[in-house]
Amino acid sequence: MVESNIGFIETYRDPSGERGEWEGFASMINKERTKAFGKLVESAPKHIPKLPWPKDFEKDKFLAPDFTSLEVLTFAGSGIPAGINIPNYDDVRQNEGFKNVSLGNVLSAKSPNEPTPFIRSEDQEVFDKYKDEAFEVQVGLHELLGHGCGKLLQETEPGKYNFDINNPPVSPVSGKKISTYYKPGETWGSVFGGMGPSYEECRAECVAMSLCPDYDILQIFGIGNGSEDINGEAGDVLFVCYLQMARAGIAALQFWDPNSSKWGQPHMQARFAILQSFLSAGPEFCKLQHSKDDLSDLTIHLDRTKIQSHGRPAVNDFLQRIHIFKSTADKEAATELYNRMTNVDDWYMNKVRPEVIRQAKPRKVFVQANTMLEGGTVTLKEYEATPEGLVQSFVDRDYI
Ligand SMILES: [Zn+2]
């Protein structure tokens, strides 16, 4: 089963964000992985109630998104994403619908064997072994359940509410009846404005961190047998899910600009916040350690035996606040919380960030295959993972 997409699609490369860049890809559906994602969507009604809020703050019916996992044959364009939500044309989305696709072999493309910065040497092996599986679990939960869950409490038109205004739900954060909600004409975007995208990414990432310690869910992804197994394969994947998130929280500092004191990338800002929530669970669960003054030996210490007892509760506490403030249009509380959790203090700015930049690896490029017709049959031509191989594959794409 083949899927393709071609046209003037993304506008990232145009400084004014207007003109699309010509790009296209040809890919095959990964049926097995698509099925795993489908099972996750089907089981959503069972898992969503495990999230840290009462049903007043959840949709009556979970709207299952469409999701397909693809293996890319060739993606022609200046940059290759790991996942896409297409098409970008709003009229097509409204009338025909849209789909989420994950580009499986982009996520799992093998990089050269090199130690990952900030991972302890004793964790390096398990990290390398399971980082792809862990990332797949994270992305699946993020996209399908994370962005898909939650209800906005609204006055949908003057005098009409999608909740009981005479007996409003009690916020699990304050223990009091809620007093804020979306007014007629207000949307999530109009209330939260510029902070909205990163805040929502953080909510989705927290949902992933809240649910991945559930061994039933890991089993849906083909990991383990559904029973708790801290030191087995499922426990390894879970540990790497948390470790990878903590590492991303440190690496995120590359995307923080000291001149403007601003974050340049919504997902990375979100991951920094989640690292702070891990750290808030106490040094017996997660700490950043170094013995050298320049932090060149900075590593993350994360205790896998304390994910259930410390990590998950800390994430749930943070997630509950994020979620309730979004649900109730409480921008003031949300802003206070998110600014505090993503604040880059002196130590992160002057000590950690320079080390993150020093250890940053160059951006990976992808050497991609081509197919060609030879005597009526299609053949696959692959290239060496070298600069020459990369150039040759571009040349062949143009001229054969
Ligand atoms: Zn997202």
Q: What integer pLDDT is reported at residue 98 of this predicted model? A: 74
| Position 85 pLDDT exceeds 80 | no
Q: How far is the CA of 148 from the centre of ligand 1 (A)?
A: 10
Residue 178's contacts (CB-CB under 8 Å, 6 or more residues apart) are 153, 168, 169, 170, 171, 328
With contact defined as beta carbons under 8 Å apart, do 264 and 289 qualify?
no
How far, in Å, is the centroid of ligand 1 from the Cα of 146? 8
For residue 200, report the distance from its CA to the centre of ligand 1, in Å. 7
**Distance (Å) of CA 20 to CA 12, 50, 85, 91:** 8, 41, 15, 17
* CA 142–ligand 1 middle distance (angstroms): 6
Supply 315's token pair. Answer: 């994430």
Cα of 202 vs centre of ligand 1, distance in Å, is: 8
Distance 143 CA to ligand 1 centre (A): 6
| pLDDT tier for residue 94 given thresholds of 50, 70 and 90 | low
> What was the pLDDT predicted at 400?
59
Indicate if 143 belongs to the active site: yes
- Return the DSSP state at 176: S
Which has the closest alpha carbon to 297: 67, 89, 120? 120
Q: Is the pLDDT of residue 65 over 90?
A: no
Q: Which residues, other chains included, contact 321 with Cβ-Cβ below 8 Å and sequence gap of 6+? A: 173, 333, 337
Residues contacting residue 395 through CB under 8 Å, at least 6 positions apart: none
The single residue of 23, 136, 143, 355 carrying the catalytic annotation is 143
pLDDT in tens, 300-357: 999 999 999 999 999 999 999 999 999 999 999 999 999 999 999 999 999 999 999 9
The rounded Å distance from CA 327 to ligand 1 centre is 17
Q: Helix (H, G, I), strand (E, B), or coil: what is residue 381?
A: strand
Per cent of the chain over pLDDT 70 is 98
Provide mean pLDDT across the span 6-23: 83
- Render pLDDT for 211-255 as a digit per residue (tens, 0 to 9): 999 999 999 999 999 999 999 999 999 999 999 999 999 999 999
pLDDT of residue 189: 86
Whole-angstrom Cα distance, residue 109 to residue 212?
Answer: 23
Token digits of residue 66: 């469409």
What is the Å distance from ligand 1's center to 132 Cα? 18
